[in-house]
Structure 1
Amino acid sequence: MTVTATLDRLGVPATRGARRAVAYALAGVLPALLGVPALALLALGAALCVTRVGMPVLSLVLTGVRWLSAVHRVLLRGLLDEDVPAPPRPRPLRAAHDAVAWRCAAYVVVGAPLGVLLFAVQLPVRLYGLALLSYPVWFRAVGQNGHRGLELTGTFPLDSWPRALAVAGAGLVLLVAAGWAGRRLTALVRLLARTLLTPQRREELAERVHDLEETRALAVRDSAATLRRIERDLHDGAQARLIALGMALTRAKDALRAPEPSPADAAKARELVEQSLGTVRTALGELRDLVRGIHPPVLDKGLVPALASLRSDIESPSLRVELRTELLSGPRPPEEVETLAYFCAAELLTNAARHAHADRVVVSARAEGGARDRVLVLAVEDDGRGGAAPPPPAPGGSSGLRGLSERVRTVDGTLALDSPPGGPTTVTVRLPFAAAQPAGAQSAGAHGKTTT
């Protein structure tokens, strides 16, 4: 046994773990004391449940208790190295029906006396034991009622070496007892945290089901919006062009109906045919753009060529786009992930060009993780004016950054925005996917490292 471990056994915090346990007792006493008003508020909310305001008040108190338990969770992770996973997100005004909130409340309430007791053992009792242990050193420097040292009672002064050593022995016993009690109480805190603050399996599954319901609704809404957009583009674009083409060809036919049309009718027919050719070219262009908006054909060659094509479309004399792709060797992402990454890049580049007034944009794409938990990471950074923020949800759908965030969630992805006023703005999209194809079956355009 090392010297530091021996000192720990004797009640002197010498090892790193013992010192951090003492620090936890000091830092945790205030959150522990907050459990007392939390208990009073919980009792008040329970009493008000006979009225209509009872459940909202109780839910509000339980939501605050969850935030207080988050403070405990931070202290546990930072000082006791006890990594307690965070529970699922609370639902507004539904905390009274949430088992997680009630278990957090139980931890806060039980933690109030436990935290105070742990603080008392770790600090005042230890200090008192150290003072008793050092009594032989300083007892001659003090006096009481004409005697050196302190008095145990009015007729029993502690003024001799045997009595001073006895006091030191009592201090050593108190230190050892305080060290033992501190370790036991800290272990009890860990056990309560793992029992009450750690999300249960069924709660994780319930949250996962809720999240899947939300993402399914988002996917259905996005599909409906896409179908409406396609219908609108076909109705207002290609369909209108084809109707105009039919009318122009009908007029040309009428002009050429005579066996020997006059020069004026022939000229008119030629003009209508030329007009019809222009209408056909416009309709073909609109159909091509429509198809590209559904699934860009360049994606068939891989994400890297698709991003390079997008770069060439967006770049202009006033906007320089730098592309960095590091899609490492391995399975190619699924088609839906590549398509989503492409449209995210297109939307973010458009935002940088139109709204951020950026001069330079850097687009980077890379794959992270192993074969079973790979993540496609797309980052777009511009040197624009910054201050970007997702708009509030609007009835009937969403667009822009909020729409991207919702579309990313349909594949369990995340979108992180960092845009301080004055810039720069960085948007990071993480799209997880499970590799299903062997590395040898991939398109050559999906791999490699490119910087342009």
Structure 2
Amino acid sequence: MPRALALVGLPATRPACRAAVYAAAALVPALLGVPALALLVVGGALCVTRIGLPFLSLVLTAVQRLAAVHRGLVRGLLGQEVPAPPAPRPLRAAHDAAAWRCAAFVALDVPLGVLLFAVQLPLRLYGLALLSYPLWFRAVRQNGHRGLELTGSVPLDSTPRVLAVAAAGVLLLVAADWAGRRLAALVRLLARTLLGPPSRALADRVHDLEETRALAVRDSAATLRRIERDLHDGAQARLISLAMALTRAAEALRASEPSAADTAKARDLVEQSLASARTALGELRDLVRGIHPPVLDNGLAPALASLRSDVESPALRVELRAELSSAPRPPEAVETIAYFCAAELLANAVRYAGAHRVGVAVRVEREATGGGDVLVLEVEDDGRGGAVPGPSRPGGPSGLRGLAERVRTVDGTLSLDSPPGGPTRALVRLPFAAARGETTR
């Protein structure tokens, strides 16, 4: 029975009945919005005088009381929980954004409340009257015939015409039900947006941006200190030693006829210098690779293939699946972060997990909501599991927490699933928009 009533647009369920009751109960508060808006206009006109702002604050305080009534009706009848915003200080409502948002709801609810009432009650009643026309049309006599007349000349007394009137009633009820549900959804949306406290989405976004900016600055400072330390303690010291060894070799060979001992000493010094030069070159190459791997110039897929060849061994097999050929190339920052994430996760699989097989998959997906491109990196190993992000040390290995912080600088996410006993699965999502400096939602 309830399903049959719902098919013809009649309120058969409890939410539908409550929506109809809300349409009737909210009409009076909606109409009270008319004098409230008139008083707001008066208060706005009085703002050129000293009493304008206090008067406007008093009106807005009354508007907030009216909004509280709307909030209670929406919560009790439409099932939408709307927390009340903080109350402003006395005579300071004119400077409170929440009070003005309540005024905006009251202004919008004037036509919306009247329309919702008309749809839910008079329109439904008219549809019911048309639907029941076959039952009562014989009791009406007009111009010498039974039933009503259409446009004063077409009597609605035959069976086809009576059924047509009943069908029109069904269509009207269905239309009223559809419009009533849409209008009730609009009321819920406006109540959530305007009657509640300020949305925390923007504040949370600003806080997240401030935190990620601090992380980026801290990471940049730590990277600069590491580069300075590596250059000072590594390559610079070896180059100084190289210069001193070459100076001693030159002094040993400076004589017009150097002795055999001087020649042997110079040869040893040159060989030591060559070894130091090679070591310094290797350290400089590792330092440059730590800043930006040159292999990334050819793209992320070749870079991951090179990383696989460096990590793979007879005891460890790395399966790489890169689906990037037909996708747009990610920004440089996204490629760099993805490369270092893959390197760190592979190193963890080798060093700590004791894995024998690691799967690396990278692809570009389309976001379902924003419509932007996202680089997705998946790394899964068959190791012992139990990986837990630990604190990252400035200037030291980044660790899993350091990777998560680096991923956040481009609004990315790092999710880790590593139960004890394995397997360990890491999923990194890096949106393109933030790396390109575009607006993200």
Could you state the TM-score of these two structures normalised by the residue count of structure 1? 0.55
Give the deviation of 1:204 after TM superposition: 2.2
SS of structure 2 residue aligned to 1:358: coil
Give the deviation of 1:288 after TM superposition: 1.0
1:431 aligns with 2:420: no
1:280 aligns with 2:277: yes
> Partners of 2:363 and 2:372 in 1: how far apart?
14
Give the deviation of 1:331 after TM superposition: 2.3
Choose which of 298, 301, 325 in structure 1 pairs with 2:298: 301
Give the deviation of 1:206 after TM superposition: 2.0
> 2:252·2:265 contact (CA, 8 Å) conserved in 1?
yes
**Cα distance change, pair 243–366 in 1 and its aligned pair in 2 (3 A):** same
Give the deviation of 1:285 after TM superposition: 1.1
SS of structure 1 residue aligned to 2:378: strand
> 1:8·1:18 contact (CA, 8 Å) conserved in 2?
no
> 2:242·2:273 contact (CA, 8 Å) conserved in 1?
yes
Which letter maps to 2:342?
A: A
SS of structure 2 residue aligned to 1:385: coil
Give the deviation of 1:239 after TM superposition: 0.9
> Partners of 1:81 and 1:315 in 2: how far apart?
58
Give percent identity, aligned residues only: 70
Which letter maps to 2:4?
A: V
**Cα distance change, pair 382–277 in 1 and its aligned pair in 2 (3 A):** same
Which letter maps to 2:362?
A: A
> 1:416·1:427 contact (CA, 8 Å) conserved in 2?
yes
Structure 1: state its 5+ residue gaps: 22-75, 85-98, 101-179, 438-452
**Cα distance change, pair 307–396 in 1 and its aligned pair in 2 (3 A):** closer
Give the deviation of 1:251 after TM superposition: 1.4
Which letter maps to 2:378?
A: A
> Partners of 2:375 and 2:351 in 1: how far apart?
26
1:221 aligns with 2:218: yes
Which letter maps to 2:320?
A: L
SS of structure 2 residue aligned to 1:434: helix
Give the deviation of 1:377 after TM superposition: 0.4
Give the deviation of 1:305 after TM superposition: 0.2
Give the deviation of 1:188 after TM superposition: 9.7
SS of structure 1 residue aligned to 2:318: strand
1:3 aligns with 2:4: yes
- 203-212 or 415-424, larger mean C-alpha shift: 203-212
The within-5 A match list for 1:168-317 is 191=188, 195=192, 203-317=200-314
> 1:385·1:421 contact (CA, 8 Å) conserved in 2?
yes
**Cα distance change, pair 10–321 in 1 and its aligned pair in 2 (3 A):** closer
> 1:82·1:190 contact (CA, 8 Å) conserved in 2?
no
| Alpha-carbon RMSD | 4.0
Give the deviation of 1:247 after TM superposition: 1.5
> 2:342·2:379 contact (CA, 8 Å) conserved in 1?
yes
Give the deviation of 1:237 after TM superposition: 1.3
Choose which of 309, 314, 320 in structure 1 pairs with 2:317: 320
Could you state the TM-score of these two structures normalised by the residue count of structure 2? 0.56
- 304-313 or 263-272, larger mean C-alpha shift: 263-272
> 1:328·1:367 contact (CA, 8 Å) conserved in 2?
no
> Partners of 2:223 and 2:216 in 1: how far apart?
10
Please name the residue that 2:386 is paired with. Answer: 387
Please name the residue that 2:143 is paired with. Answer: none
Structure 2: state its 5+ residue gaps: 20-74, 83-96, 99-176, 437-441
> Partners of 1:379 and 1:239 in 2: how far apart?
39
Give the deviation of 1:216 after TM superposition: 0.6
> Partners of 2:204 and 2:412 in 1: how far apart?
16
Give the deviation of 1:346 after TM superposition: 0.5
> Partners of 1:9 and 1:3 in 2: how far apart?
9
Which letter maps to 1:272?
A: L
1:349 aligns with 2:353: no
Give the deviation of 1:399 after TM superposition: 2.7
**Cα distance change, pair 394–237 in 1 and its aligned pair in 2 (3 A):** closer
> 1:221·1:397 contact (CA, 8 Å) conserved in 2?
no
State the number of aligned residues. 281
> Partners of 1:436 and 1:225 in 2: how far apart?
21
Give the deviation of 1:296 after TM superposition: 1.0
**Cα distance change, pair 311–397 in 1 and its aligned pair in 2 (3 A):** closer
Give the deviation of 1:281 after TM superposition: 1.1
> Partners of 1:285 and 1:191 in 2: how far apart?
65
Please name the residue that 2:413 is paired with. Answer: 414
SS of structure 2 residue aligned to 1:318: coil
- 236-245 or 358-367, larger mean C-alpha shift: 236-245
SS of structure 2 residue aligned to 1:429: strand
The within-5 A match list for 1:357-396 is 357-369=354-366, 373-392=372-391
Give the deviation of 1:2 after TM superposition: 6.8
> 1:372·1:435 contact (CA, 8 Å) conserved in 2?
no
> 1:331·1:435 contact (CA, 8 Å) conserved in 2?
no
Give the deviation of 1:396 after TM superposition: 8.8
Give the deviation of 1:347 after TM superposition: 0.6
**Cα distance change, pair 256–81 in 1 and its aligned pair in 2 (3 A):** farther
Larger CA Rg, structure 1 vs 2: 2
Give the deviation of 1:191 after TM superposition: 2.8
> 1:387·1:420 contact (CA, 8 Å) conserved in 2?
yes
Give the deviation of 1:257 after TM superposition: 2.3
